[in-house]
Amino acid sequence: MAGTNIQLPDTFRKDLLFDYLNRSKDEISFTTEADFVFKLFEFEGQHILTQLEFTEDSIKIHFPDLAPSSKEEIKIIAYVKEWFDLETDLEEFYAIAKHDKILAPLIHQFRGLRLVKVPDLFEAASWSIIGQQINLPFAYQCKRRLIEHIGNGKEITGQKHFAFPKPEEVLKITDEDFVKMKFSRQKVKYLRHLSEAILERKIEKSNLQTLTYDEAERKLLELKGIGKWSANYILMRCLGFKEAFPAADVGLHNALKKSLQLDHKPNLETVLKFAKPWKGWESYATFYLWQSLLN
DNA sequence: ATCCAGGCTCCTG
DNA sequence: CAGGAGCATGGA
């Protein structure tokens, strides 16, 4: 079949995207290989492997295994555009950042880096819970163990591809198995509560996206285990609120310390002061600061 | 060994 | 309402 193409925006850097995608070997919800990204989608129990080929000015979408229906293909295309935030005009952000002493060097270094999203709400919220209070490598290990335990995937030409577990699958996991996966009891409680809230449609992505930032944040905070940090993480990485700001984030604080060569990490009040000029683009500022920690 | 990791809830005073 | 304990593990 004729491969589908997604046009890349002018402001786009593939190498920076891949730096982010390749940040952990334990990330198995997708895989990369040279200029390719592989992602397994699931539609009504049917697995569709999608291979994204990054060329100079576009992403070519291939389906090495089963071909999707046209309806499914439309969903995949929408997912990819959202995943890599291809439709955001970054010029306003760069205009603001140019005059900000913290962001100016970062946009010089990372111009063309786009916020990598987690388009699925359950996956994004689960990840925010898993990542709480533990270091990132350990969080990635926990996530990998969860994905492997559910094992919702398919082996295609010698490579195993996984889809992220669904809430009904997470609800079937026993306490004992969670312990084996090194999940704390608190996190197990939070994940189960989240799974139920999603299944009961107490929270829905499409609904949250119709709300204002404040309303959506408040709605997320109703969930057990979702505090201000997690809510803003989800608003930023899943729901596309550009003003979302996980202000208490340890990584953000470390990045600010490094960037400004501070002796100590800044306190919350100081962080909020730094962030004042970033108004409306806090999510991108955060993402660029995170990226500055990679090397 | 001690402290801290991409925090949150619950319990004090 | 601010402040602190507990959570579970692992790396520096």
Of A182, A140, A109, nearest to A24 by C-alpha is: A140
Report pLDDT for A295.
Answer: 67
Would you say residue A183 lies in a domain? yes
**Domain boundary residue among A42, A63, A87?**
A87
Q: Which nucleotide is nearest to A221 (CA to C1')?
A: B8
The protein residue nearest nucleotide B8, judged by CA to C1', is A225
- Per the CB < 8 A criterion, the answer to whether A142 and A24 are in contact is no
Report helix, strand or coil for A48: strand
Task: Tell me the CATH number at A36.
Answer: 3.30.310.20
Report pLDDT for A294.
Answer: 85
Domain of residue A151 covers 121-237
- Residue A188 and residue A81 share a domain: no
**Domain boundary residue among A186, A220, A237?**
A237
Would you say residue A255 lies in a domain? no
**Domain boundary residue among A199, A221, A237?**
A237
Could you say which of A85, A100, A120, A249 is catalytic?
A: A249
Joined together, the tokens standing for residue A176 give 């004992």
What predicted TM-score, i.e. pTM, was given to this entire model?
0.97
Would you say residue A259 lies in a domain? no
Task: Tell me the CATH number at A149.
Answer: 1.10.340.30
- Residue A125 and residue A25 share a domain: no
CB atoms within 10 A of CB A65: 15
Instruction: Give yes or no: A249 in active site.
Output: yes
Report pLDDT for A173.
Answer: 97
The total number of structural domains that make up chain A? 2
Would you say residue A44 lies in a domain? yes
**pLDDT means per 10 residues in chain A (295 residues)?**
84 97 95 96 96 97 97 98 98 98 97 98 98 94 96 95 97 95 95 97 97 97 96 98 97 95 91 96 97 87
Would you say residue A248 lies in a domain? no
**Distance separating alpha carbons of residues A280 and A186, to the nearest angstrom:** 33
- Residue A233 and residue A141 share a domain: yes
- Residue A167 and residue A77 share a domain: no
Strand B neighbours (CB under 7 Å) are A 23, 131-136, 138-139, 186, 223-231, 233, 237, 246, 248-251, 254, 265, 290
**Distance separating alpha carbons of residues A93 and A129, to the nearest angstrom:** 29
